Chain A
Amino acid sequence: QSALTQPASVSGSPGQSITISCTGTSSDVGRYNYVSWYQLHPGKAPKLMIYDVTNRPSGVSNRFSGSKSGNTASLTISGLQAEDEADYYCSSYSSSSTFGVFGGGTKLTVL
């Protein structure tokens, strides 16, 4: 069982917005602004999409945004595109772990 809880799947139509949640505890998501999000496409290198809750690395579309409230972080993708279909993982620094901890992953389907 993963340390952070994500929905197994979400879906949306092109052009719509979707939000993926990532629920942790007061030892990780709730305590630190050190949440990151990754996009995994089969056969490709995973890609960092968001770090430190809200920051986008250079080159990541501004359609991707991150936020946090209490013990839950969220990744929002606006203006969904077919290329956004992928698996998404959240991660957070944790006081109870040597490193970060991952969520279980969410499969995004673009209908």
Chain B
Amino acid sequence: EVQLVQSGAEVKKPGESLRISCEASGYRFTSYWVGWVRQMPGKGLEWMGIIYPGDSDTRYSPSFQGQVTISADKSISSAYLQWSSLKASDTAMYYCARAVGMIGAPYYFDYWGRGTLVTVSS
């Protein structure tokens, strides 16, 4: 059974750093893209970026390029989303999901984690 287990909710102050995780199981982690999706309070879903753990190929949506870092550790089948300096506007639910579709160009998500709520407030 494919599962994506995300780390727990976080409450941080502006300017702090943060890394949230997504542990995959039930499939070959290095053979599928993993993506991150943001949902701000009361808003819709947004693609943030994807990573292919097999070779660490990472792609970012223009809106998130330079704002976050996506990484993966294939030795423990985990993907990460990281901020170096959080802002209040980073308050959101963040989902990880397995991305599939065309080879080298995934365009939908077949399995999702439950999400990690990140709250940034002074």
A interface residue numbers (CB < 8 A to B): 2, 34, 36, 38, 43-48, 51, 57, 89, 91-93, 97-105
Shortest beta-carbon distance, B31 to chain A, in Å?
18
Shortest beta-carbon distance, B97 to chain A, in Å?
7
Q: Count chain A CB atoms within 10 A of each CB in B109, B110, B113 and give the residue with the most.
A: B109
B interface residue numbers (CB < 8 A to A): 4, 35, 44-47, 50, 59-62, 95, 97, 99, 101-102, 105-115
Give every chain A residue within 8 A of B97 (Cβ-Cβ).
46
Q: Which 7 residue pairs are nearest across A and B when measured between Cβ atoms? A: A93-B107, A36-B108, A100-B107, A46-B112, A99-B47, A102-B45, A45-B112
Contact A98 B44 (CB under 8 A): no
**Number of residue pairs across A and B with beta carbons under 8 Å?**
71
Please, how many angstroms separate the alpha-carbon atoms of A98 and B63 in the complex? 11
Shortest beta-carbon distance, B92 to chain A, in Å?
14
Contact B108 A45 (CB under 8 A): no
Q: Which residue of B lies closest to A32 (CB)?
A: B107
18 A–B contacts from the bound complex (CB under 8 Å): A36-B108, A38-B112, A45-B111, A45-B112, A45-B115, A48-B109, A48-B110, A51-B108, A93-B107, A97-B47, A97-B61, A98-B60, A99-B35, A99-B99, A100-B101, A102-B45, A103-B44, A105-B45
Contact B108 A100 (CB under 8 A): yes
Q: Which residue of A lies closest to B99 (CB)?
A: A99
Give every chain B residue within 8 A of A48 (Cβ-Cβ).
108-112
Please, how many angstroms separate the alpha-carbon atoms of A34 and B4 in the complex? 24
